[in-house]
Amino acid sequence: MKEPRSIRMIPARRLVWALVAAGVLGAAGGAGAMHASTTIKTSTSATPASTDGGAVSSPVLASAAPVAGTAAPAAALTPPPAGLPDFATIAARQGVAVVNISVTGTVKTPVQRRGQMPDLDPDDPFAEFFRRFQPQLPRGGEMPTRGQGSGFIVSEDGTILTNAHVVRDASEVTVKLTDRREFKAKVLGSDPKTDVAVLKIEAKGLPTVTLGSTQNLRVGEWVLAIGSPFGFENSVSAGVVSAKGRALPQESFVPFLQTDVAINPGNSGGPLFNARGEVVGINSQIYSQSGGYQGLSFAIPVEVAQRVRQQIEKGGKVQHARLGITVQDVNQGFADSFKLARPEGALVASIEDGSAGAKAGLKSGDVILKFNGQPIVASGDLPALVGQALPGEAATLEVWRHGKLETLKAKLGDDGERKGRVAKADDEAGPQQGRLGLALRPLEPQERRDSGMKEGLVIDDVSGPSALAGVRPGDVLLAVNGTPVSSVEQVRSVVAGAEKSVALLVQRGRDRIFVPVKLG
């Protein structure tokens, strides 16, 4: 059985210290409330530095005293091989502008009945303690919280960028610089939709990072992260860009950078540098089954963070545009049905009345291939592009409709008015059994009145390819390959002209979704 996967923020919760190599590591102050239990272990070199009569000396822990009358050899600094980034220089020059952020606040706790246990995070290292000993927890009210994260200075007078989730529910924010000075910070504003926050401290002449661009950033390029994982300030880790423009579940406004840089709790809000020492992203999330780093890290592109910063500094709030449509991915079955060369684009499943999409003339069954000239490969690309625009802006949509390209103009709406949804299609497909496998009937007058639908056919029974594709009895068939249907004859006519598959638009409860069906 596969373990459940999840996209996790990187809040700092609890840190359980395990001190090993007694006499080598001393006790340190608590790093705040961290998320995962941690064991600090000594490491040994894989290859001995030297052997002498069976004894092995470590090049790190053992050193030979110079012979009397001779000078100790100077340590030679070996430059990195040509073509590789100079991480040491980047860390030295840019690391001074990376800060540690500590937050305190309170969260409301649910009212607990006596003897009732609260919901516990299975990744919490103290969860088993609570299960076994069941201490008396607060029975409603507020509970103090502490956490840590990272950030970076973008102006000499103290403007700092970090993650919105780092300062969420914070009543007090403290920023610690690399020179150990501490400042109380004011949250100028935060945007949960992009997970970007802007802080301000009262200081002058501060070091700043160099901001770059993801425009020319390529997959496979070296990148460097600096932050405070588990409270270890100014820790440096490196890796490569794994992908660009990643859409993550519930995070539709950000085209994330995916890397394999080691990111852990406390790295949130810290900068991601390219090989030239320029910030290209804000480290924000990890993909993990354990709560810790497992090779998949995600950063918010610096362009997204800059747009949020500009809006916050200008008006104190952030706005996002919206089209008011529901979209889903175009798979090979849909591509065959709509005669697309490749399974790309955002398939329009439904459109809200009076929305920007409706006013632009979008229809269910349209496939949006470009937004303002930017290609839409996966459906998640569209919300990210729309969300970065401002309400009221004009947008050009390149749409595939009935086998040909059309261009539509839209005046974007305001996402603050109503949050859109992204549909998920049933994408299961099986062996081809029969041509379609649907038992259809017209809507009864009462059904029309109750549902508000003027057209469509009720699906009474499902078998063969439609059943394997996920169509259900009780669904209402609205269109086949983008053609509205109100009779069985219309369905037969459209299906007769199809080749490999058809795209069925069905109403299921309050949702409209497309389901690709491979024909027998």
The whole domain housing 505 covers 438-518
My answer on whether 180 and 246 are in the same domain is: yes
My answer on whether 10 and 106 are in the same domain is: yes
Q: Which of 381, 414, 447 marks a domain boundary?
A: 414
My answer on whether 92 and 180 are in the same domain is: yes
Spatial contact of 239 and 283, defined as CB atoms under 8 Å apart: no
Catalytic residue among 191, 195, 381, 415: 195
CATH of the domain at 330: 2.30.42.10
pLDDT in tens, 69-111: 444 444 455 555 556 789 999 999 999 999 999 999 876 655 4
My answer on whether 356 and 462 are in the same domain is: no
pLDDT of residue 122: 52
Q: Report pTM.
A: 0.63
Share the mean pLDDT of the chain: 77
My answer on whether 16 and 108 are in the same domain is: yes
Residues 248, 369: Cα–Cα separation, whole Å: 20
Which pair of structure tokens corresponds to residue 492?
Answer: 């037969």
pLDDT of residue 141: 59
Three-point CA angle 374, 313, 168, nearest 5°: 90
Residues 422, 350: Cα–Cα separation, whole Å: 10
Q: Is 268 a catalytic residue?
A: yes
pLDDT in tens, 120-134: 555 554 444 444 444
pLDDT in tens, 365-388: 999 999 999 999 888 889 888 988
pLDDT of residue 453: 80
pLDDT of residue 78: 56
pLDDT higher than 50, residue 23: no
Q: Where are the beta strands (DSSP E) in 87-195?
A: 98-109, 141-153, 159-162, 170-176, 182-191
Spatial contact of 163 and 197, defined as CB atoms under 8 Å apart: yes
Residues 33, 15: Cα–Cα separation, whole Å: 6
My answer on whether 230 and 143 are in the same domain is: yes
Return the top range by mean pLDDT from 68-77, 104-113, 266-275, 503-512: 266-275
Q: Which of 414, 446, 476 marks a domain boundary?
A: 414
The average pLDDT across 414-418 equals: 73
My answer on whether 9 and 136 are in the same domain is: yes
- The answer to whether residue 200 sits within a structural domain is yes
My answer on whether 104 and 201 are in the same domain is: yes
Which pair of structure tokens corresponds to residue 136?
Answer: 């008396």
My answer on whether 363 and 464 are in the same domain is: no
My answer on whether 302 and 328 are in the same domain is: no
pLDDT in tens, 211-240: 999 999 999 999 999 999 998 999 999 999
My answer on whether 291 and 389 are in the same domain is: no
The average pLDDT across 23-46 equals: 35
pLDDT higher than 60, residue 500: yes
- The answer to whether residue 429 sits within a structural domain is no
Q: How many domains does the chain have?
A: 3
Catalytic residue among 102, 165, 190, 350: 165
My answer on whether 241 and 332 are in the same domain is: no
pLDDT in tens, 279-338: 999 999 988 777 778 889 999 999 999 999 999 999 888 989 989 888 888 989 889 988
- The answer to whether residue 313 sits within a structural domain is no
Catalytic residue among 268, 288, 350, 355: 268
